[in-house]
């Protein structure tokens, strides 16, 4: 469902990036043209030697011609090096232009398209595009326009030679088309299987401890192996096609090369051409056919790059960057949900069905309910992570989309159920990796979450590296650091999804204190919880059951009703 790009967004970012390199591209094309002309030096030399030196028997002419040829070859070598470097630079430039956008896609895809989508695909697509652009592949496109020129020159030598060369070109071209047909399908399959394999590898890396503990390695390796062999089969099919057609085209070219000599010899015997023409014809034909033969050789990486380019373009179009938005003031008054219906990204199956509620500055809402009732989903919708299918989530009357991502970070604090810390120092994690974060703000957030003393006791205090996901911290420590991150910068809206799941009594008291503090400074807090102790500091309680609000109201009233009607309500 690609949507048209908003105004100001390039319609095709890859094309736009290439267009920015147009000077380098034009230079590479010019060099290719010069190289094509210089490649004739050998033919001209041979013609001259045959037609002039051998008839005049002049050594000085031969020496002069040879020196000229040496000069031409030298220039040819230099131009070739420069051309290859230019192409490598163009590839790097395209990568640099798009790398940040591709990174943004890799974090947008999981929340917009769904967890099953392969977030790393755009990165592989960009690799394919860069790989082709920086190879000698593009020179095929630069050299191909010269093929007709060489054919015309062949016709100038003798019509029969022209006809023979033209027929040879058409045959090779037909082989190129057949290569295209034979590689397209397998290449698409290979790309798909590569994506699946990357997902398995990533998940295995993340859950390495689980795999080790329960001896799952063999079974997972088999799954990985199956996908790998499908990938290799498809890739082999493409490679086989390219090499088979490549061989056919090479043999055909060799045959043509000799055939044209034979034809030339016949013309010489019929006194319609000189021996020099015969040799020149052979060389000219080689030049005319070379780009077509090169095209067959580079076809696989060309198809990969083309697939990547298209997919990248479609992905970027479907998930456009946020358009520039008017800088609204940060919200200060209300959070309102109106008839919110919400599904997981990439799904139309509602998890929440018609949730309406409103919270004022200074209020805190406790969300309780059985497992899988939709509490975390509600938290995600309120934090603006998931976009509702229908209905709206508004802050001071404005929907989330009206703030830029950057602004949003200043009024939302979110502690997800799975915590989600990053490799970096404790301070960087708390400050959300914001460059130029103030130490005072970091410590204030840690104090508000009651984590300051714990953090100071770490080996390097706030500068302790915690590893990906915070692996070097205990479960409770991770939760405290993530709570500090949610409170960093005193955001208006603080959403905590089971903040006390891993906490001891002291930690729970800290959460309660933090919620109280958010309320006192005029913020809104939402706390998903199972234990009543965690919602000691809230004034409102919502009971979620099967995606509906079963009850909503002042805390004590709702809790009394829930315990009366469902003894032990929520999770046991
Ligand atoms: N990313 C997702 N993709 C698809 N379905 C999802 C996703 N996340 C949650 N669900 C589904 O939504 C429903 C509600 O899940 P949710 O995480 O909101 O429950 P919860 O109330 O927070 O449960 P718990 O108390 O166990 O944390 C579940 O049936 C779950 O299967
Ligand atoms: Mg949950």
**pLDDT, tens only, 259-274:** 999 999 999 999 888 8
CB 238 within 8 A of CB 184: no
Residues of the chain with CATH 3.40.50.300: 334-565
Per-residue pLDDT tens digits for 279-309 = 888 888 888 888 888 887 788 888 889 999 9
CB 242 within 8 A of CB 298: no
Q: Does the beta carbon of 418 lie inside 6 Å of ligand 1? A: no
Under DSSP, the state recorded for 274 is -
Ligand index nearest the alpha carbon of residue 369: 1
Task: Please report the pLDDT score of residue 505 as a whole number.
Answer: 84
Nearest C-alpha to atom 3 of ligand 1 is from which residue?
A: 344
Check the CA dihedral 128-134-137-140 and report its sign. positive
Q: Which residues contact 311 (CB under 8 A, 6 or more apart)?
A: 121, 122, 125, 191
DSSP 3-state of 351: strand
Q: Which of 112, 353, 374 to mutate for ligand 1's pocket (most ligand atoms within 8 Å of CB)?
A: 374
What gap in Å lies between CA 178 and CA 407, rounded to an integer? 53
Under DSSP, the state recorded for 325 is -
DSSP 3-state of 344: coil
What gap in Å lies between CA 159 and CA 147, rounded to an integer? 16
- Of the chain, the end-to-end C-alpha distance in Å amounts to 43
Per-residue pLDDT tens digits for 160-178 = 999 999 999 999 889 888 8
DSSP 3-state of 49: helix
Q: What is the mean pLDDT of the chain?
A: 88
What gap in Å lies between CA 518 and CA 422, rounded to an integer? 25
Q: Does the beta carbon of 373 lie inside 6 Å of ligand 1? A: yes
Task: Please report the pLDDT score of residue 369 as a whole number.
Answer: 92
Nearest C-alpha to atom 31 of ligand 1 is from which residue?
A: 372
CB crowding 460-499: b at 16 or more within 10 Å, else e? eebebebeeebeebeebbbbbbbbbbbbbbbbbbbbbbbb
Q: Facing residues of 398 across strands? A: 395
What gap in Å lies between CA 388 and CA 353, rounded to an integer? 10
Task: Please report the pLDDT score of residue 10 as a whole number.
Answer: 56
Q: Does the beta carbon of 375 lie inside 6 Å of ligand 1? A: yes
Task: State the burial class of residue 531 (Cβ atoms within 10 Å of its Cβ: 0-12, 13-18, 19+).
Answer: middle
Nearest C-alpha to atom 17 of ligand 1 is from which residue?
A: 376
Q: Which of 346, 370, 373 to mutate for ligand 1's pocket (most ligand atoms within 8 Å of CB)?
A: 373
Residues of the chain with CATH 1.20.1560.10: 13-318
Q: How far is the centre of ligand 2, averaged over its atoms, from the C-alpha of 372 (Å)?
A: 7
Q: Mean of the pLDDT values across residues 399-404?
A: 85
Task: Please report the pLDDT score of residue 4 as a whole number.
Answer: 44
Residue 253 scores a pLDDT above 80: yes
Residue of 284, 208, 298 lying closest to 249 (CA atoms): 298
Q: Which of 113, 351, 417, 545 to mutate for ligand 1's pocket (most ligand atoms within 8 Å of CB)?
A: 351
Band (570; pLDDT cuts 50, 70, 90) = very low
Per-residue pLDDT tens digits for 534-565 = 788 999 999 999 999 999 999 999 988 877 65
Residue 75 scores a pLDDT above 90: yes
Give domain 334-565's CATH superfamily. Answer: P-loop containing nucleotide triphosphate hydrolases (3.40.50.300)
Check the CA dihedral 275-277-282-286 and report its sign. positive
Give the pTM.
0.77
Q: How far is the centre of ligand 2, averaged over its atoms, from the C-alpha of 528 (Å)?
A: 8
Higher pLDDT, 6 or 105: 105
Percent of the chain exceeding pLDDT 70 equals 96
CB 470 within 8 A of CB 481: yes
Q: Does the beta carbon of 345 lie inside 6 Å of ligand 1? A: no
DSSP-derived secondary structure for 385-454: SSPPSEEEEEETTEEGGGS-HHHHHHHEEEE-TT----SSBHHHHHTTT-TT--HHHHHHHHHHTT-HHH
Q: Which CATH architecture has domain 13-318?
A: Up-down Bundle (1.20)
Residue 7 scores a pLDDT above 80: no
CB 141 within 8 A of CB 25: no
Higher pLDDT, 319 or 453: 453
Residue 225 scores a pLDDT above 80: yes
Which long-range CB contacts under 8 A does 530-536 form with residues at least 24 apart?
A: 530/368, 530/498, 530/570, 530/571, 531/500, 532/559, 533/500, 533/508, 534/366, 534/498, 534/499, 534/500, 534/508, 535/366, 535/368, 536/512
Nearest C-alpha to atom 12 of ligand 1 is from which residue?
A: 351
Residue 375 scores a pLDDT above 50: yes
Helix (H), strand (E) at residue 99: helix 59-112
Q: How far is the centre of ligand 2, averaged over its atoms, from the C-alpha of 416 (Å)?
A: 9
């Amino acid at each position: 469902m690609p949507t048209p790009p908003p105004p100001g967004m390039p319609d095709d970012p890859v094309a736009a990036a290439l267009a920015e390199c147009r000077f380098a591209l034009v230079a590479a094309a010019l060099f290719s043209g010069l190289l094509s002309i210089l490649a004739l030096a050998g033919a001209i030399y041979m013609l001259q030697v045959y037609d002039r030196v051998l008839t005049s028997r002049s050594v000085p002419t031969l020496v002069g011609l040879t020196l000229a040829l040496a000069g031409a070859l030298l220039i040819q070598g230099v131009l070739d090096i420069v051309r290859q470097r230019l192409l490598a630079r163009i590839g790097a430039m395209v990568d640099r232009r798009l790398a940040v956008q591709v990174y943004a896609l890799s974090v947008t895809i999981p929340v917009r398209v769904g967890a099953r989508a392969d977030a790393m695909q755009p990165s592989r697509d960009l690799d394919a595009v860069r790989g082709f652009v920086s190879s000698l592949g593009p020179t095929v496109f630069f050299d191909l326009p010269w093929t007709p020129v060489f054919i015309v020159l062949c016709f100038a030598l003798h019509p029969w030679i022209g006809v023979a060369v033209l027929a040879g070109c058409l045959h090779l071209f037909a082989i190129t088309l057949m290569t295209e047909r034979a590689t397209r399908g397998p290449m698409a399959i290979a790309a798909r299987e590569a994506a699946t394999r990357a997902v398995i590898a990533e998940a295995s890396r993340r859950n390495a401890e689980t795999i080790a503990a329960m001896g799952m390695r063999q079974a997972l390796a088999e799954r990985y192996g199956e996908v790998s062999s499908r990938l290799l089969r498809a890739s082999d099919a493409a490679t086989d096609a390219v090499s088979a057609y490549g061989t056919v085209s090479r043999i055909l070219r060799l045959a043509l090369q000799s055939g044209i000599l034979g034809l030339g010899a016949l013309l010489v015997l019929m006194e319609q051409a000189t021996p020099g023409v015969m040799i020149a014809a052979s060389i000219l034909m080689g030049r005319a056919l070379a780009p077509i033969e090169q095209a067959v050789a580079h076809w696989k990486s060309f198809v990969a790059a083309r697939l990547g380019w298209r997919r990248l373009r479609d992905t970027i179009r479907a998930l456009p960057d946020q358009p520039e938005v008017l800088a609204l003031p940060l919200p200060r008054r209300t959070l309102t949900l109106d008839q919110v219906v919400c599904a997981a990204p990439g799904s139309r199956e509602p998890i929440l069905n018609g949730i309406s509620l409103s919270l004022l500055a200074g209020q805190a809402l406790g969300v309780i309910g059985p497992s899988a009732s939709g509490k975390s989903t509600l938290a995600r919708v309120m934090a603006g992570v998931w976009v509702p299918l229908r209905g709206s989530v508004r802050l001071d009357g404005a929907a989330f989309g009206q703030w830029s991502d950057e602004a949003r970070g200043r009024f939302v604090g979110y502690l997800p159920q799975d915590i989600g810390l990053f490799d970096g120092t404790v301070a960087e994690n708390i400050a959300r990796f914001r460059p130029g974060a103030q130490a005072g703000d970091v410590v204030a957030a840690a104090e508000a979450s009651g984590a300051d003393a714990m953090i100071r006791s770490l080996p390097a205090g706030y500068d302790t590296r915690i590893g990906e996901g915070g692996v070097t911290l205990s479960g409770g420590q991770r939760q405290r650091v993530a709570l500090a991150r949610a409170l960093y910068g005193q955001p208006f809206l603080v959403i905590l999804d089971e903040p006390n799941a891993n906490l001891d009594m002291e930690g729970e008291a800290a959460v309660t204190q933090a919620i109280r503090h958010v309320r006192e400074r005029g913020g809104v807090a939402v706390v998903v919880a199972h234990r009543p102790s965690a919602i000691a500091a809230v004034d409102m309680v919502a009971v979620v059951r099967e995606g509906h609000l079963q009850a909503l109201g002042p805390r004590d009233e709702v809790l009394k009703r829930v315990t009366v009607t469902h003894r032990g309500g929520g999770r046991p």
